[in-house]
Amino acid sequence: MNPAPRVTDLTSAGVAETVRLTTTGERTVRAVVDSALARIADRDGGLNAVSRLAADRARTDADRLDAARAAGEVPGPLHGVPVVIKEELAVEGLVTTFGGEGNSTPALADAEVVRRLRAAGAVVVATTTMPEFGAWPYTESSSRGYTRNPWDRTRTPGGSSGGTAAAVASGMVPVGMGGDGGGSIRIPSAHCGLFGLKPQRGRVTSAPGDHLWWALGTAGPLARSVLDSALVYDVVRGHTDVDRWRAGETGSFAAAARREPGRLRIGWTTKPVTRGVRPDPLHVRAVQDTARLLTGLGHDVREVDPLYPDPTAAFVPQFLGGIRAEADTVEHFARLERRTRQTYRLGSWVTPRVLDRALAMTETVSAKANRVFDDVDVLLTPAVAHRPAPVGVLDGKGTVRSALAAMPAIAYAALWNVAGNPAAAVPCGPAPDGLPVGVQLVGRTDDEPTLLSLSAQLEAARPWPLVAPAYATA
């Protein structure tokens, strides 16, 4: 693979470049962090990506890292990288809001993935907006208002990790943490022109909890390049004793992102998992164009019918049970938004026995979904069905109408949360309407390395913008 170009503009500098700048002394960590905080102050007003700033702690951490380097300590792999954290992950000293007003007491400790980021030298500068409990693929709520797409402020960035996506795509920070329980890393990545990998189930710890939406959810980064995502994953991945699910062993993700993938068998389809959803012609064209590009890169590419199983019976109980489990932990249930409380009530039928049946169904769905990999190494599909919608998708909608509005966004994504397979949203660049378009690559169980190698090959062959054009600088 070609090495990433060196840049000195901190707006465009990704994870790898930021680490190079801070470890060589070309920039102090304090200068990098101050620059990120300045960009947040300048850009967030029109995007509403940031929920809570951690400016004082960030500056203190930056000064500590600079002093440690000056004293001869070996810098960590993310030395001086400013990061934002989706507000469902605990950040010491900040309220874990879950996108609403249900909590009011600051967290006493970091979630394990946040602790690992800090230990590697990353600096947490803010938490980011999300729909309450991450229930919807649109970053809107009565508490947070609308979060907007950096490519077009009248459009949604998707969700539920929409605040993180908007912050990274606008150049506020090089990378940010999101979560994916039904497409919530891949959907906003596709809408905002980012690379977003949902890892194998159990790859990233959910500690201090033992699960995130039971078998559906995982945390992970949204980034502007494949290598940047891989570098962060190499820091945060790995289970703890409390985790209910544990992925199989793999090698270094960063090493995978730096090597050629070899000749692969790639199957493509534009058939959605969700019946009644029709993909936008731009997304069909993006898949077909990517299939032709992959053929030109030497892969064996052919159209397939994946014979998708229906994941509904496995997905819905875990979705509702996950929201109820999180809602049960908040300090002020009455402060949750009306739609969330309605969702909570509608999920009252999800008893422990129902969840056990849903988890058993998860294994059945996974086995059926993975049959496609008897014949191919990677599956290529649209990332989402529809183009980024105008903001206000959820206005006036209760749970049922919101769920119907979510169908086009999750039509290709949610199955792979049930199945557990790694799946990535890979940018294709801007479409003719000026907004990003992305495709989804799905891999075999525990085969993130192949997805990373193939995605990096696509990135080299078809580079995508580092930052949304309105926020890029010369």
Mean pLDDT in each 10-residue stretch from start to end of the chain (474 residues)?
53 94 96 97 97 98 98 97 98 97 98 98 98 97 96 97 98 98 98 98 96 95 98 97 95 97 98 94 98 98 97 97 96 97 97 97 97 98 98 96 96 98 97 96 98 98 93 72
Using CB atoms within 10 Å of the CB of residue 26, give its burial: 0 to 12 exposed, 13 to 18 middle, 19+ buried.
Answer: exposed
| Catalytic, out of 12, 143, 160, 453 | 160
User: What are the angstrom distances between the C-alpha of 443 and each of 259, 310, 369, 379, 420?
Assistant: 17, 19, 11, 7, 10
Under DSSP, is residue 393 helix (H, G, I), strand (E, B) or coil?
Answer: coil
What residues have CB less than 8 Å from 87, skipping those under 6 apart?
Answer: 51, 52, 96, 97, 98, 99, 127, 128, 129, 130, 163
Are 214 and 318 within 8 A, CB to CB? Answer: yes
DSSP H or E stretch at residue 83: strand 82-86
What topology does CATH give the domain 15-461?
A: Amidase signature (AS) enzymes (3.90.1300)
Are 266 and 377 within 8 A, CB to CB? Answer: yes
DSSP H or E stretch at residue 324: helix 312-327
Kindly list the domain boundaries of the chain, sorted by start residue: 15-461
Checking DSSP bridges between strand 123-128 and strand 82-86, what pairing results, if any? parallel
The contacts found for 403-407 with CB under 8 angstroms, 24 or more apart, are 405/136, 405/138, 406/136, 406/137, 406/138, 407/274, 407/276, 407/277
| Residue 472 pLDDT | 85
| Catalytic, out of 12, 184, 206, 455 | 184
Please confirm, yes or no, whether 366 is among the known catalytic residues. Answer: no
Cα torsion 57, 60, 61, 62 to 10°: value is 120
411/431 Cα distance (integer angstroms): 20
Please confirm, yes or no, whether 271 is among the known catalytic residues. Answer: no
Query: The tokens 């052919």 sit on which residue?
Result: 302
180/425 Cα distance (integer angstroms): 12
Angle between helices 55-70 and 29-43 (to 10 degrees): 160
Using CB atoms within 10 Å of the CB of residue 166, give its burial: 0 to 12 exposed, 13 to 18 middle, 19+ buried.
Answer: buried
| Residue 303 pLDDT | 98
Please confirm, yes or no, whether 184 is among the known catalytic residues. Answer: yes
Under DSSP, is residue 303 helix (H, G, I), strand (E, B) or coil?
Answer: strand
Are 360 and 314 within 8 A, CB to CB? Answer: no
| Catalytic, out of 12, 86, 143, 198 | 86
Sign of CA dihedral 188, 191, 193, 196: positive
Angle between helices 55-70 and 15-24 (to 10 degrees): 50
| Residue 4 pLDDT | 46
Instruction: Record the pTM.
Output: 0.96
